Amino acid sequence: MSASPLTPRVSIRREDFDAGAEIVEITRGRTDIGAVVTFSGLCRDENQSLAALELEHYPGMAEAEISRIALEAAQRWPLLALTVIHRFGRILPGENIVLVVAASAHRQAAFDAASFLMDFLKARAPFWKKEHKREGAGGWVGARDSDAEAARRWT
């Protein structure tokens, strides 16, 4: 799969996204795509204690780093289209945070690429989550060892 003609679409933004519209955007008018895997990451609040998440990011680097990860995915798997959207700013429980849409002729490449992208986004994309609690102090979310391990399994 050398010289992939694919240019991943990467968007770092405050606004919400529409996963369905992004899938349509990727597949419209073409008949070579057999499989689309979409990952939506949402803001969780299991015990009704969270007022909001605040997502800080490194504006100059976030898009560049995610584009590097997306290009690496496009080199490792025969992807036909790839979209990554990551929000920043204030995000409420139940809202979208991140979207990956990976399209390929067959399902395994699409699954693997989407999973790879999420593992590397978690480990390498310059974003930091701060919790604002409904009552009491919130704080910065700690990095999970399991996320660093998840990224290592691809090397």
Partner 1 sequence: MRLIYFAWVRERIGAAEEEVELPTAVQTVRDLLGWLQTRGETYAEALRHPEVIRVAIDREHVDHGERIGAAKEIALFPPMTGG
39 binds a copy of itself (CB under 8 A): yes
The two tokens of residue 143 are: 């990095």
Nearby residues of 105 by Cβ (< 8 Å), 6 or more positions away: 32, 33, 34, 35, 78, 80
Q: Which positions ≥6 away from 65 have C-beta within 8 Å?
A: 124, 125, 126
24 binds partner 1 (CB under 8 A): no
Q: Does 110 bind a copy of itself (CB under 8 A)?
A: yes
* x-marked contacts with partner 1 along 27-66 as a string, rule CB under 8 A: --------------x-------------xxxx-xx--xx-
Choosing among partner 1, a copy of itself, none, which partner's interface includes residue 1 (Cβ < 5 to 8 Å by kind)? none
Q: Count interface residues toward partner 1 (CB under 8 A).
A: 29
Count the residues of the shown chain that bind a copy of itself, applying the rule CB under 8 A.
Answer: 38
Q: From CA 1, how far away is CA 5, in angstroms rounded? A: 10
Window 100 to 139, contacts with partner 1 (CB under 8 A): 118, 121-130
10 Å Cβ neighbour count for 113? 24
Residues in region 16-35 near a copy of itself by CB under 8 A: 18-21, 23-24, 27, 29-35
What CA–CA distances, in Å, run from 138 to 54, 55, 97? 11, 13, 19
Check residue 8 and report its DSSP letter.
-
Binds 71, which of a copy of itself, partner 1, none (CB < 5 to 8 A, cut-off by type)?
Answer: none
CA 139 centroid distance within chain: 23
2-10, 57-65, 66-74, 105-113 -> range binding a copy of itself (CB under 8 A): 105-113
- Residues of this chain that bind partner 1 (CB under 8 A): 41, 55-58, 60-61, 64-65, 86, 97-98, 118, 121-130, 140-143, 147-148
